[in-house]
Amino acid sequence: MRKLWLALCAVCLWSCAGLAQVKSTVQWKCDKPSIQHSIDVGDKPGHAYAVDQINCRPVTGDINGAKRKSGMGTEFIEINGDKFTGHGEFIETMENGDKNLYTYQMAGTLKKGVMTGSDKWSMREGAGKLKGAKASGTCKGASNPDQTATWDCSGEYSMAKK
């Protein structure tokens, strides 16, 4: 009986918190970086810092019925031989004009001009239907020799009830 009572209390607390869980997936097709700068560190070959900006468009995916229109990422990357790590900020624009802001940390490899990598992301600030929501997830990506890239992302959103 006590376990049943605890379970009911937990369900009640969760529902009283005013959050609804929503899963979302999206595939982003990204152009080659529109802005890209790299500076060699000078301590050993292949060690550099880079900053770039990418523009992306969604191929699939929405968030609880809200359609994505475009995205723009600005990122800082450390390249060490054929490996890289970095972090960035991503601005997602919805079809209705709302903008959602995300941060991400990434890592991967660069071989023969082709990148494969993954990242972990979280929403920093949502607008419109996503105002007050919390979200996090992961992405896996790969580039082409022409520096365009595809990122497959999934995550979970805790939507604030209005």
What CATH number is attached to the domain comprising 144? 2.40.350.10
Enclosing domain of residue 94: 20-160
pLDDT (average), residues 45-53: 97
Q: Is residue 154 assigned to a domain?
A: yes
Tokens of 23: 């899963």
Q: Is residue 8 assigned to a domain?
A: no
Digit-coded pLDDT (tens) for 118-145: 999 999 999 998 999 999 999 999 999 9
The number of domains in the chain is 1
Q: Is residue 150 assigned to a domain?
A: yes
Q: Is residue 24 assigned to a domain?
A: yes
- CA separation for the pair 35, 84 (Å, rounded): 18
Above 90 in pLDDT, residue 61? no
**CA distances (Å), 101 to each of 13, 64, 128, 146, in order?**
29, 17, 12, 27
* Closest by Cα among 119, 153, 116 to 27: 153
Q: With pLDDT > 70 as the criterion, what percentage of the chain qualifies?
A: 88
Q: According to DSSP H, which parts of the chain are helical?
A: 2-16
Q: Is residue 60 assigned to a domain?
A: yes
Q: Is residue 116 assigned to a domain?
A: yes
Above 50 in pLDDT, residue 13? no
